[in-house]
Amino acid sequence: EKYLQRCPSSVKKWLKQLKSAGKILLLITSSHSDYCRLLCEYILGNDFEEYFDVVITNALKPGFFSHTPNQRPFRTLENDEEQDALLSLDKPGWYSQGNAIHLYELLKKMTGKLDPKVVYFGDSMHSDIFPARHYSNWETVFILEELLGDKVMVPTETESEPLEKKGKYEGYQPKIPYSVSEQWGSFFVDRLPGLENAEETLVRTWSCKCISTYSTIAIPSLEAIAGKKVFFSFMNLQYS
- Does the residue 1 lie in any domain? no
Amino acid at 49: E
Residue 55 has phi, psi (to 5 degrees) of: -120, 125
d(CA 79, CA 126): 31
Beta-sheet strands, E only, within 41-182: 54-57, 74-78, 81-85, 93-97, 119-122, 139-143, 151-153, 178-181
- Does the residue 228 lie in any domain? yes
Neighbouring CB atoms inside 10 A of 106's CB total: 23
- Judgement on whether residues 120 and 162 belong to the same structural domain of the protein: no
Domain interval for residue 167: 147-214
Residue 162 has phi, psi (to 5 degrees) of: -55, 145
What would the pLDDT profile of 17-68 be if each residue is shown by its tens digit? 999 999 999 999 999 999 999 999 999 999 999 999 999 999 999 999 999 9
What would the pLDDT profile of 196-229 be if each residue is shown by its tens digit? 777 778 888 899 999 999 999 999 999 999 988 8
- Judgement on whether residues 45 and 126 belong to the same structural domain of the protein: yes
Q: Give the contacts of 27 (CB within 8 A, at least 6 positions apart).
A: 36, 40, 51, 52, 54, 55, 56
